[in-house]
Structure 1
């Protein structure tokens, strides 16, 4: 089956999922004409142009090769930077996998490849019974895991990989992002994960004082994505 997209998750929040998703979008444009990013649920908005939007969504749009309606690339935008189900409850909204999946299906009709960026880690709830992992399962796309390289990352990464596979999905690769510049033995931790995760390392991101241009982030795409 032809490659038509992936789902980007992380070991936690703040580990660089948006940067990696944007870098993937740029890399995929070398092989696919219509490439678009999707943030199904964004919690935490900034004011721009008289409206409110997620900075993550802005980054994905800037890295996409096609423009699509906001209701498709970010069907749910919540003002408070909280866990999605809590932010939705406080805003009087109800989230569901069916709602997010419908937007993804519509987006697929407008693009050759869709890069979906999750929120937080793998099992982030969106309501009382569903998580974003359920959306990833419904999409059935290969998964890229962004590992925030800091103390505790070995356990977080290995448990995340185990959960992804337990949900029947393919872990296509992972990216190591050095989010803690003072972490001792960072490279040794990356090598330990290279030996244990059972998926290719697509790239290593050094510590950045300020977020870099995603076009300058070098990632190695799996061969069947090209």
Structure 2
């Protein structure tokens, strides 16, 4: 049975793609077909093939279905800035309707396990009146929250979980990604997150020098 999830983060640079690629690898290792889409990516590099984003490429590498780059990352912007600003500078308006239209071809492939990865945190603007969080709401996708574990992560995680619930979405699980292994009272922080977040923990990913999907997969479990 095909299952699809939205990957959200408590902030930018908390390891959404690292975790997403790891989860896709877990699914592939279990014999499931996989697909992914990162509809909006800023911070892309101009190549002979066009703009390419390292996060989108990492997801593409873990897709068992044959997908081209433009399908996985339909909206790519060169500057590493907020997507709505990057889009505006490129003369393009991002809308929820356009993103839904861009994501649908991947969901329609009906892979056993599909991930739609967001950008930044939960409440990232698309334009003057819409937010990226409206995309999983429009698609009815359950959410996997990547918590960047560092000072302040409990507040960020709980506020994100509250916003996800307020938007009418199900938090299917969360992943502790140890961004700062020197976090004071690390175990106590993780215990507090486990106690207060209203969803199961899908894994605890340690700080890795150069994380690969197979490495990260060792620390993860798929949502039930």
Q: Could you tell me the TM-score, scaled by structure 2's length? A: 0.93
- Partners of 2:203 and 2:221 within 8 A in 1: yes
The 3-state SS of whatever aligns with 1:66 is: coil
Gaps of 5+ in 2: none
Equivalence for 1:108: 107
Q: What displacement does 1:105 show?
A: 1.4
> How far has the Cα of 1:150 moved from its partner?
0.7
User: Aligned-pair distance for 1:49?
Assistant: 4.3
Question: What are structure 1's unaligned runs of at least 5 residues?
Answer: none
The corresponding residue for 1:147 is: 147
In the TM superposition, residue 221 of structure 1 has moved relative to its aligned partner by 1.5
The reply to whether residue 5 of structure 1 matches residue 4 of structure 2 is: yes
Against the structure 1 CA distance between its residues 3 and 171, is the aligned structure 2 distance closer, same or farther, given a 3 Å change threshold? farther
* Aligned equivalent of 2:220: 219
Counterpart of 1:191? 191
Is residue 46–residue 78 contact of structure 2 (8 Å, CA) maintained in 1? no
Determine if the alignment matches structure 1 residue 58 to structure 2 residue 65: no
Deviations 1:106-139 (A, max 9, x none): 1122242320110000010011111111001011
TM-score by length of 1: 0.93
Q: C-alpha distance in 1, partners of 2:156/2:2?
A: 28
Bigger Cα displacement from structure 2, 170-179 vs 47-56: 47-56
Tell me the SS of whatever aligns to 2:133.
Answer: helix
Could you tell me how far apart the structure 1 residues matched to 2:131 and 2:31 are?
30
Q: How many residues align?
A: 221
Q: Distance in 2 between matches of 1:62 and 1:125?
A: 28
Secondary structure class of the residue paired with 1:36: strand
